[in-house]
A and B are shown apart, each in its own frame.
Chain A
Amino acid sequence: MAEMLLPKNQALRITRYEYRLVFEKKGRARYISHLDLMRAFQRVFKRAGIPLWYTQGFNPHAYLMFPLALSLGIDSSVEPLDIALTEELSFDEVRDRINWQMPEGLRIVSVGKPVMKHTEISSAEYELRLRTDLTPDETADAFRSFVSQDKIEVEKRTKKKGINLVDIKPHIELLSCEAADAETVLMLRLPAGSEFNLNTNVVLDAFEAYFKGRINSVYTTRTKIIAKNGESFT
C-alpha cells in the first residue's frame, strides 16, 4: 500500500507556466457565487483539457486564483483570473480551448502573462443603472447631494465589538451622474483589493436610507480594475 500514500499528483516537480486570464461574467452567469465560480472554472479547465498545475501536499488542488472577487449579481468584462499550467500553450490556444467549454455568460476576453502582483490592486470603477419611482433627474440630484454630505456613516459588523459605525464618504468618488431615458446612470470609483474594499451594495444601501424615493431596480457593471500606479490592472 505504501505507494498509494504518496500525493496522487506529481506535477509539483514540473515547471509552472503562469497566465493571467481576463474574463467576462454576464447575463445568467451573473448569479454564480464566487465559490461556485471557482468550481465552474475548474470543470471548464478539465473539459478543455487545460493542463493545470497542481499545488503540493496531500490534498493537491489546481492552482486557480481570483485576485479580486466580484459580488453576486454584478456584470463585468474585466475580471482577472490567474492560473498555472504544466505546459506552455500559446495565449490564443488557451483562450480558444477555454471559451469552447464555457457556459453561457462566461467568456475569456484576453490571455497574457501576469505583470502586476495582486496587491497592486487599489480601486475599481462601476457603472450603476438605477430605476426608481422618482424621475431620473430627481434621482441624479438626490445622489449628488447624498455624496456631498460631510459624513456617510454605515454600520459594519466586527467579530469583537459587534457593530461599528464607519464613515465611507471619503472613499466614494463619483465620476459622473446622469439621467438617461428612464434610468439614472452613475459612475463610481471605490477602493478595492486586499487592503480596503468597498462594495457597491454598501453604498447603495446607504443611499437607499437617505433617498426619499424607492429604488425599483439596479443594474451594476464593474468597468475597470485600477492598480496603485493608476493603470488598469487587467
Chain B
Amino acid sequence: MKEIREKIEQLLLKTQKPARYIGGEHGSIVKDKSKVDVRFAFCFPDIYDVGMSHLGMKILYGLKNAVPNYWCERAFMPEKDFEALMRENDIPLYALESLDPVRDFDFIGFTLQYELSFTNVLEMLDLAGLPVYARDRKDLTPIVVGGGPCVCNPEPIAPFFDLFILGEGEDVNLELMRLYEKMKPLSPTKEEFLREAAKIEGIYVPQFYDVEYNEDGTVSSITPNVPEAKPKVTKRVIADFDHAYYPDSFVVPFTSIVHDRVVVEVLRGCIRGCRFCQAGFIYRPFREKSIATIAGETKSLCEQTGYEEVSLSSLSTSDHTRITELLTSLSDYTDKENINLSLPSLRIDTMSKEIIDRIAAVRKSGLTFAPEAGTQRLRDVINKNITEDEIMRTCKLAFAEGYQTVKLYFMLGLPDETDEDIAGIAELAQKVVDLYYQTPKEQRGKSIQVSVSASTFVPKPFTPFEFEPQATPEQIKHKQGFLLDNIKSKKIRISYHQMNVSVLEGILARGDRRIADAIYCAWRKGCTLDSWDEHFRFDLWQEAFAECGTDTAFYANRKRKYDEIMPWSHLDYMISREFLIRENKKAHEAKTTRNCSEGCSGCGVKKECGGVYCG
C-alpha cells in the first residue's frame, strides 16, 4: 500500500524511535502477495520494544511463514505520540512487513500475556478501523483470534473476540489456517466458519456458550448453544516437545528492545507447583529438549542473527535433567564465538558451584532470587520449597566469587500471611547483608546492595489459590508500611509495584463476561498502555467500574467456595479441580507438596502429553 507508506514516512521523523514503525528488519519476511492464500496479522498488544522480545511471537511467526502460501506479519501497539499522529492522518493500524492495513487480513491474532494489555486490544482493533465487539463485525474476515496465558480465563474480553486458542499454538494455529484455506473458496458466513472451527481441539468460540448467573452474582451455568461447541474445551499440548517446531531465524530489530538476544527454549512446563504461580500449572506437563536440539538451535540462531548474547528460556532452567552437561556443551560453543550465555530462571536450591562458576566466567552480574515469602511457614503455604539455609549457602558461594548485588523478590498479601511473615522479609534481607560482611575482605566485592522487590499477590485461575480473596487495598497499604518500618540497613533497598495495578489485575484475572463492558468503558475514557506507570489511570478505571455497576470486591476480594462454578469452568487446562482443592487445603495447613521429579501428585495431566515425570 504505497499511499500508507508515503503518509507514514512523513510522520516518522516526528516520533520517538521511528524504526519501530517501518519494519524492514533483518529476518522479517516479505512475500509476494499474489502467491499468498492466507494472511495473518500477529498483533502484540503492547509497544514494539516489549512485543519484539516475546518468544511466542517468534515461534508462531516462523511456523506460519514456513508455509509457502501463508504470510504472517507483525503489528504492535503504537506509543501515544505515534498513535495520535496515526489518528490525525487517517493511518489505520498496519502490518510492518507489507505496510498493508490489518483490517484487510484474513486473521488478526492477539497474544494475551497479561491482563493489563486488554485495553490495548480494543485500541488496536479501533485503530485498524474495526468494531471492537465481535457481534458488530459481520463479515467473515478479519477473524479476530486470541491466544496466550490470559486465555485460561478469557471471559472479561470474550465479547471482543471471534475465537480463542487454548494452550500451545504450534499445531492448532496451522489447523485453523488450513480450515480457513479450505473453506474460503466456498464463501462461508462467519458463523459457518466458526462452527467448523469449534470442532478443532483447543478452539473456544465464546459466542457459542450461554452463561447464566445466580442471584448472588456467581455463575450458575455455562452451556453450549450449538452442537459443534463442546461442553469443555481442552487446551492443546505438544507431546513431542523435543521435535516441536522452533524457528531457525529471528527478526533482528534495529532499535534496542527489552530482550535483545537469541532466546532458546530449553524446557516447557514446571515441576515445582508453587501454589501462587499460574504458569507453573497451565503450562504443564514438564517436557524438555535434548542437548543436541538446544545446541543446534543456539548455533543456527546465533549465526542467523549476529547477536552476541544467547539466553536460555524456561520457567526453571536448572530443572533440566542434564543441566550441567547442557551448560558445558553450550559454553564450549559460546566461549569460542565470543557470545555471552545468560541463564535467567535458575533456582537457588539446585545451583551448584559449577553453575555459579559458569555464569561468573561470563559476567559478574547480580544474583536474583525469589523466595517469595519471608518465613519458612509461609513458604510452605505457597509451596515454594526453598529453605533459608539454601539461600544462605548460595549467597555465601556468590559473595566469595565477588558478587555485589542480590535481588530478592517477595510477594505481599499471600494467603494466611501475618505481620510476622512480613517482618521475616526484612530479617532475611538483613541476614544476606550480614553474610556479605562475614565474607573475608580479600574475597568479597567492594560493596553490597540488597534490593527487595515486594509485589502484591494476585490470585489467578487454575492455581490452588483461585479460591482465595486478594488482599484489599487497605490491607496492602498496611503491609507495605509495616515492611518499610522493619528495614534497618541502608544496604537494603525496597521497591514496590504500584498497588493499584495489582488491584486492577486482580479484578480482571478472575472476572466474568459482565466486566467486558467496564473494560470497554475504561478504554473509551482513554485507558490504554495500562501496564506503563506513566499511562496508568486508575481513576478512569474506577469511574468505568462505577458507571457499569461493577462490584470490584466481588471479583477481587471474595473467597470462593470449592464447589463454585468459575467463569472459566468450561475450559480444561488439564489441572483437575480435585487437585486444586487438595492443594488449597494443604496450603492452609502449611504442608508442602513434592515436586514432579520426586513423585507424581496427581494434578490431572495425562501421561500421553509427554511429561518427563508423568506416568
Contacts and interface: CB of A to CB of B under 8 A. Distances in A.
A27 B22 CA distance: 10
A31 B12 CA distance: 8
B19 A103 contact: no
A46 B24 contact: no
Interface string B303-332: 111111000000000000000000000000
B22 A31 contact: yes
B306 A28 contact: no
A94 B65 CA distance: 31
A85 to B, nearest CB: 15
A171 interface: no
Nearest to B12: A31
B551 to A, nearest CB: 48
Interface string B68-89: 0000000000000000000000
Given A36-B256, A47-B304, A101 B24 contact: no
A101 B306 contact: yes
16 contacts: A4-B361, A28-B23, A29-B24, A31-B18, A32-B19, A37-B254, A39-B256, A43-B305, A46-B307, A47-B303, A101-B306, A102-B26, A103-B252, A104-B24, A105-B24, A216-B10
Contacts of B21: 31
Nearest to B6: A217
Given A31-B19, A72-B13, A8 B306 contact: no
Interface of A: 1, 4, 8-9, 27-29, 31-33, 36-37, 39-40, 42-47, 72-73, 101-105, 216-217
A132 B613 CA distance: 70
Interface string B351-367: 00000010011000000
Contacts of B13: 72-73
Contacts of B500: none
A46 B361 CA distance: 22
A60 to B, nearest CB: 9
Contacts of A46: 306-308
Contacts of B306: 42-47, 101
Contacts of A31: 12, 18-19, 21-22, 254
Contact of A103 (B24, B304, B357): B24
B248 to A, nearest CB: 13
B308 to A, nearest CB: 7
Contacts of B361: 4
B576 interface: no
Given A43-B306, A46-B308, A73-B13, A33 B256 contact: no
Contacts of B303: 47
Interface in B11-42: 12-13, 17-19, 21-26
B255 interface: yes
A214 to B, nearest CB: 13
A207 to B, nearest CB: 16
B495 interface: no
B321 to A, nearest CB: 28
Nearest to B27: A103
Contacts of A102: 26
A26 B306 CA distance: 22
A73 B254 CA distance: 14
Nearest to A71: B13
A201 to B, nearest CB: 9
B115 to A, nearest CB: 32
B338 interface: yes
Contact of A36 (B24, B254, B357, B360): B254
A29 B22 CA distance: 9
A101 B308 CA distance: 16
A103 B338 contact: no
Contacts of B12: 31, 73
A20 to B, nearest CB: 22
Given A31-B22, A40-B26, A47-B304, 6 more contacts: A32-B19, A33-B255, A37-B254, A39-B256, A43-B307, A44-B26
A36 B255 contact: yes
Contacts of A217: 10
